[in-house]
Amino acid sequence: MKTEITQLLKIKYPIIQGGMAWVADYHLASAVSNAGGLGVIGSGGAPAEWVRKQVKKMKELTEKPFGVNVMLMNPQADEIARVLMEEKVPVVTTGAGNPAKYMEEWKKADIKVIPVVASCALAKMMERCGADAVVAEGTEAGGHIGEITTMSLVPQVADAVNIPVIAAGGIADGRGMAAAFMLGAKAVQMGTHFVVTEECNVHDNYKEKIIKAKDIDSKVTGRKSGHPVRVLRNQMSNEYIKKENAGATLEELELLTLGGLRKAVVEGNTKDGSLMAGQIAGLVKESCSCRELIQNTVREAEEIMKGQLKIFEA
Ligand code: TUI
């Protein structure tokens, strides 16, 4: 399955693994890269030296291309940006902000830069700054999100820029991948489905919550504070939304989410933790290896695209 993205990133399949904070460490990312996708280490709110160690481990475990995601609200983002150049990381993705100030240096260091965007305006600005591609992430995604759905965002971004577009948000199988191609994407980024893979080291309780989730089980916290985050519904999200609607202060609300992702990923605390996951969690029914997930997704997408005319036969 050759596309502009497989050629740009020198990977076998046009599947990028979302660089999920706390979730996507070198274990998951190396399994994805070794299976022919692009594994991405999620640096989230971690310190720069943690990122350097992760990258070194990654290099020991794979000779394939890989990436690191920089979460731009991290107070250590500047230091991390430097570590990625020093370690000659092949690909950088960014999230939750505007990476313009790093782009020139990253490009000089020969890094492929792929910002995650939730609007055409940021996509166009990133193209002007020299981005190699963009991930257009719809509001169906888990974690920190924008407002526009994948179905509306991807074709608009594809028309707005000349660099290749990667679709994200609501994609967990070959049907989603085929749909993304129809909308103009040249690859997909998946997060939620990779959380439940065998190589992903999150607590089993977190995986089980995703596997048991139904279509309507995700909720968005923080809409009022301007930092909307999609999580699986639990005691924390219920309380958060109740307090948010009652006009609680930001400080009060922040107390509820403080360290929430760590609680979910490390402790398996499904009551108070932030179980970040996308709306597509309801489709995720079982765990498998990263290789199986990637190959099944690609096979299903290819079969659908070959059989497209059948849609009109009924
Ligand atoms: O970044 C993500 N998803 C994330 S980051 C994250 S870590 C976190 N932990 C606790 C609380 C909050 C975050 C969990 N999930 N996705 C990429 C993404 N970027 N989605 C939306 C955006 C985005 C939104 C607004 C990017 C830029 C932007 O505006 C930039 C600007 O300045 O115009």
Pairing of strands 112-117, 39-42: unpaired
In this prediction, residue 314 has a pLDDT band, given cuts at 50, 70 and 90, of low
pLDDT band at 309 (very low <50, low <70, confident <90, very high): low
Which atom number of ligand 1 is nearest to the Cα of residue 69? 1
206 versus 312: which is more confidently predicted?
A: 206
What percentage of the chain exceeds 70 in pLDDT? 99
C-alpha of residue 212 to centroid of ligand 1, in Å? 26
Domain positions in the chain: 4-201, 214-276
Q: Does the pLDDT value for residue 235 go beyond 70?
A: yes
Tens-place pLDDT, residues 157-166: 999 999 999 9
Please tell me what DSSP assigns to residue 50: H
Instruction: Name the nearest CA neighbour of 274 among 64, 76, 91, 23.
Output: 23
Residue 89 alpha carbon to ligand 1 centre in Å: 21
- Residue with the bigger pLDDT between 309 and 260: it is 260
CA of 193 to the centre of ligand 1 (A): 19
**What distance lies between CA 281 and its chain's CA centroid?**
14
pTM for the structure as a whole: 0.97
* Residue having the nearest C-alpha atom to atom 4 of ligand 1: 144
| Fold of the domain built from segment(s) 4-201 | TIM Barrel (3.20.20)
pLDDT at 112 over 80: yes
Distance 146 CA to ligand 1 centre (A): 8
Contact 113, 144 (CB under 8 A): no
Residue 19 has pLDDT above 90, yes or no: yes
Average pLDDT on 291-309 reads 94
Q: Which two tokens stand for residue 163?
A: 């660099």
> How large is the average pLDDT for residues 98-118?
98
**For residue 310, what pLDDT band results from cuts at 50, 70 and 90?**
confident
The 3-state secondary structure of 275-307, one letter per residue: CECCHHHHHCCCCCCHHHHHHHHHHHHHHHHHC
Nearest C-alpha neighbor of 280 from the set 138, 182, 105, 166: 138
pLDDT value at residue 256: 87
Please check whether residue 168 is in contact with residue 156, taking contact to mean a CB–CB distance below 8 angstroms.
Answer: no
What percent of the chain clears pLDDT 90, i.e. is strictly above it?
93
| Residues lining ligand 1, Cβ inside 6 A | 21, 44, 71, 95-98, 116-118, 122, 137, 143-146, 227, 229, 261, 276
Who has greater pLDDT, 279 or 224?
Answer: 279
What's residue 216's pLDDT?
98
Give the whole-angstrom CA distance, residue 117 versus residue 303.
30
Query: How many C-beta atoms surround the C-beta of residue 146 within 10 A?
Result: 18
